[in-house]
Amino acid sequence: MNIYVLLKKTFDTEEKITVSGGRIEDDSAEFIINPYDEYAVEEAIVQRDEHGGEVTVVTVGDEESEKQLRTALAMGADKAVLINTEEDIENGDQYTTAKILEAFFEDKEVDLILAGNVAIDEASGQVGPRLAALLDIPYVSTITSLKIDDDTASIEKDVEGDVEIIETSLPLLVTCQQGLNEPRYPSLPGIMKAKKKPLEEIEIDDLDLDEDDVEAKTKTVEVYLPPEKEAGKILEGEPADQVKELVSLLKNEKKVL
Amino acid sequence: MSDKILVIGELRDDEVRNVSYEAIAAAKKIDHNAEIVGLLIGSGDIESQGQSLIAYGADRVIVVSHDNLKTYTSEGYGQAVMEVVNNESPTGIVMGHTSIGKDLTPKIASKLNTGLVSDVVDIEDDGVFVRPIYSGKAFEKKVITDGITFITIRPNNIPALEKDGSRSGEVSSVDVNITDLRTVIKDVIRKASEGVDLSEANVIVAGGRGVKSADGFKPLYELAEVLGGAVGASRGACDADYCDYALQIGQTGKVVTPDLYIAVGISGAIQHLAGMSNSKVIVAINKDPESNIFNVADYGIVGDLFEVIPLLIEEIKKVKVTV
Ligand SMILES: Cc1cc2nc3c(=O)[nH]c(=O)nc-3n(C[C@H](O)[C@H](O)[C@H](O)COP(=O)(O)OP(=O)(O)OC[C@H]3O[C@@H](n4cnc5c(N)ncnc54)[C@H](O)[C@@H]3O)c2cc1C
């Protein structure tokens, strides 16, 4: 099977966010593989081990994304591709990313593409479904189980807590939700092996695209932090008195009862 | 050409979801003078639901009913929406940022070669859309630079208009040939909390590992019931099997914005805050005064939840009776 994983680097979850010059300050930030993309990498490896074939991890990003691609290789992916847009694209959006990926996949034989259901930074969740539409293959988002038998895929999809049992066919794109699997940590031998695995770097030029072909359709005009929350009020006294005061505050001050 | 905004409505158990009414209000915020065209997709007699979109501000409603549209699939709904979009050529599209909205709208945007601003929580004049990023730790304002105005809105943030049963408007049915579905829904297992839907609930009582057992959740259900709200949970509680993952709130669970969020025996891990910190009023009940949850709470009670919750239920019952 030809399995591809769409991967993005994101801020470490615990990272404190600061804004300067109208953008998120990222000079000293720690980056990780987007947590949902980790489920995708893990699932790709599991499926390959069961059905044979090859896992290729693809990212649209910058030089720095190499680190996350190497981590995916250390987990067990076979190949990685960095589509480096640093030189060419200043302000892309999900339209941009999907268009670039479409061009990348144009000459590929694909059985399965896995992505995270959302990236925890910009949280658009668009790239997977957009790409599937461009490639005209079926897609299922927020999956929590995947079983493949020849060209048929049986899927469990999380729908706001309910579970849908879905049957569809390959080639297929899925986006991964928590619960699908437990991503493995890269092992030491895995890390050593990863250094020798192929990591190809290409630019949009190599995909016969130029900046205008993929120009964003949306633009961020401002980034800001929410107003600092005033310290809350810790109620005092006997539990019964605290509860009385709480209910009165909720009713009379906040008017939510 | 005058403006026309298509609002893709959503049915749940044959009733229009509240977020679809909010989407109509959002469409009006985008353009007061635009014609608002509602769209309902499903199977059987759903035409009767069209009128409720009109009562909430739609000018006209289109209904697509087909046996193959009984449950949502991106392919089936995609075909239905594209047919209507091609007939109507709207200048804008609005839908809820729900499970279906998140799945469907990127496909439509892709087919239309347009941008899409998702998970919008506020709309400013001149088409500026506000949305949370970095799990709610920051916000961004976005504009659309090319193509139609296409957004999804987070439930519970843009208030619906007042219902006006006297409004009238045409509800018309469109026949669409829904073919070649490669994706088939075999079964749907209902696990989400019965009754009130978490993502649209105005009040949420959420329990964490501090609740200690599935039995321990019972008082929380009781509290939720007197408040007319829903029960949610931290991942800690789900991992410990006290409740179903369907209830999980947070970065990997649901994102909620109720008027009132009561966190019970929840420590306030960053991944949990990602799903609830934008709630309007937050109450924390925790026996550890150092708990991080108190940093985001408006009101905190330091105490044992098993003592506090029954008292709270009694007290709320009292004020509810007097109103
Ligand atoms: C990638 C990733 C994603 C995650 N996603 C999520 C997510 O979506 N949602 C989520 O919630 N978590 C998520 N987590 C987990 C998160 O980090 C925490 O582990 C989890 O939220 C802890 O749950 P908790 O607060 O219920 O449990 P604990 O941290 O164990 O806290 C229990 C609290 O209960 C209090 N308590 C105990 N007994 C009582 C009593 N009798 N009365 C009053 N208070 C009492 C304690 O003081 C304590 O504060 C994620 C973690 C990772 C790594």
DSSP state of A29: -
Q: B145, A126: Cβ pair inside 8 Å?
A: no
Q: Domains of chain B, with CATH numbers?
A: 4-173 (3.40.50.620), 203-321 (3.40.50.1220)
Residues of A in contact with B303 (CB under 8 A): 239, 242
Quick count: other Cβ atoms within 10 Å of Cβ A109?
A: 8
Question: Could you tell me what percent of chain B has a pLDDT over 70?
Answer: 98
Q: Which pLDDT belongs to residue B126? A: 86
What lines the ligand 1 site, CB under 6 Å? Answer: A 35; B 208-210, 234-237, 248, 250-253, 265-267, 269, 271-272, 275, 286-288, 291, 304-306
ipTM reported for the complex, 2 dp:
0.94
Q: Is residue A22 part of a domain?
A: yes
Rounded CA-CA distance A149/A170 in Å is 10
Question: Could you tell me what percent of chain B has a pLDDT over 90?
Answer: 89
Quick count: other Cβ atoms within 10 Å of Cβ A194?
A: 20
pLDDT in tens, B87-111: 999 999 999 999 999 999 999 999 9
Residue type, A79: K
Rounded CA-CA distance A93/A113 in Å is 20
What number of C-beta contacts closer than 8 Å exist between A and B?
A: 250
Q: Is residue A176 part of a domain?
A: yes
Cα of B217 from ligand 1 centre, angstroms: 15
Model confidence at A27, pLDDT cuts 50, 70, 90, reads confident
pLDDT in tens, B127-171: 999 999 998 889 999 999 999 999 999 999 999 999 999 999 999
Q: Identify whether residues A125 and A243 lie together within a single domain.
A: no
Cis bond leading into A239, ω under 30°?
A: no
Question: Which CATH number belongs to the domain containing residue A169 in this structure?
Answer: 3.40.50.620
Q: Which residue has the tokens 């009767």?
A: B48
Q: Identify whether residues A243 and A203 lie together within a single domain.
A: no
Question: B281 in contact with A at a CB cutoff of 8 Å?
Answer: yes
Cα of B250 from ligand 1 centre, angstroms: 10
- Residue to probe by mutation, ligand 1, list B271, B288, B291, B307, most atoms within 8 Å of CB: B271
- Please report the residues numbered 83 through 122 in chain A whose beta carbons come closer than 8 angstroms to any beta carbon of chain B: 93-95, 98, 120-122
Angle CA B10–B185–B245, to nearest 5: 75
Model confidence at B192, pLDDT cuts 50, 70, 90, reads low
Rounded CA-CA distance B140/B120 in Å is 10
What pTM did the predictor assign?
0.93
- Asked if residue A195 has pLDDT above 90, the reply is yes
Identify the helix (H) or strand (E) that includes residue A67. helix A66-75
Q: Identify whether residues A46 and A120 lie together within a single domain.
A: yes
Cα of B246 from ligand 1 centre, angstroms: 16
Q: Which pLDDT belongs to residue B195? A: 62
Domain of residue A12: give its range.
2-214
State mean pLDDT over A216-236: 92
> A27-31, A192-196, B275-279: which has the minimum mean pLDDT?
A27-31
Q: Which pLDDT belongs to residue A16? A: 86
Q: Provide the domain count of chain A.
A: 2
Q: Which pLDDT belongs to residue A231? A: 80
- Please report the residues numbered 246 through 275 in chain B whose beta carbons come closer than 8 angstroms to any beta carbon of chain A: 246-247, 251-254, 259-260, 270-271, 274
Annotated binding site of B for FAD: 209, 234-235, 248-252, 265-272, 286
Q: Which pLDDT belongs to residue B194? A: 62
State mean pLDDT over A33-39: 97
